[in-house]
Amino acid sequence: MAKKDKHVSETPATAWLKQQGVAFTEHVYEYVEHGGTAESARQLGVDEHAVVKTLVMQDAKAEPLIVLMHGDRQVSTKNLARAIGAKSVEPCKPEVAQRHSGYQVGGTSPFGTRKAMPVYVEASVLALPRILINGGRRGFLVGIEPRVLVEQLGAHPVECALEP
């Protein structure tokens, strides 16, 4: 548990994790607009590769989906579309992503979303011993074992990272 003064009140994501019986650690940092995973990794002293970003995207039929990607990698929407059998995939506009997830952009978690959406995870994320992923609020990450993404969230492994 984080220090008392750094505790973040419960979010839909942490409530969901607790409901599923998932052990997690809390990691609070100072949110910086457009700082992304590079900023959270720097403040928390962790490798950005182990900080996983939650991206809300949509297919050609405007059906939403979640993509979980290493913080230091970009998603190839072409490779993702091919991997999931869609004509195309593109990021949702921030207000659309917020409507689907129930989370503010910059605080989007794959856990406890407003709308159930298929979840895809870059396969190499699952090989990491532990990851940090958004806990449902800007400036708040939770540390979990990556297998939780598949076992509890039903995430489908895909290979869609652009090489750095």
Is 6 contained in some domain? Answer: no
Domain presence at residue 92: yes
Query: Is there a domain that residue 52 lies in?
Result: yes
Decide if 94 is inside a domain.
yes
The domain tally of the chain equals: 1
The predicted-structure confidence for 74-123, as pLDDT tens digits, reads as follows: 999 999 999 999 999 999 999 999 999 999 999 999 999 999 999 999 99
> What residue numbers bound the domain in which 105 lies?
12-162
Token code pair at residue 134: 């958004």
**CATH code: domain of residue 133:** 3.90.960.10
Q: What is the mean pLDDT of the chain?
A: 94
Assigned domain for 112 exists? yes
Instruction: Specify if 37 maps to a domain.
Output: yes
Would residue 74 count as lying in a domain?
yes
- Angle at Cα 88 formed by Cα 49 and Cα 154, nearest 5°? 55
What does pTM read for this prediction? 0.94
Q: How confident is the model at residue 163 (pLDDT cuts 50, 70, 90)?
A: confident
Region 32-61 average pLDDT: 97
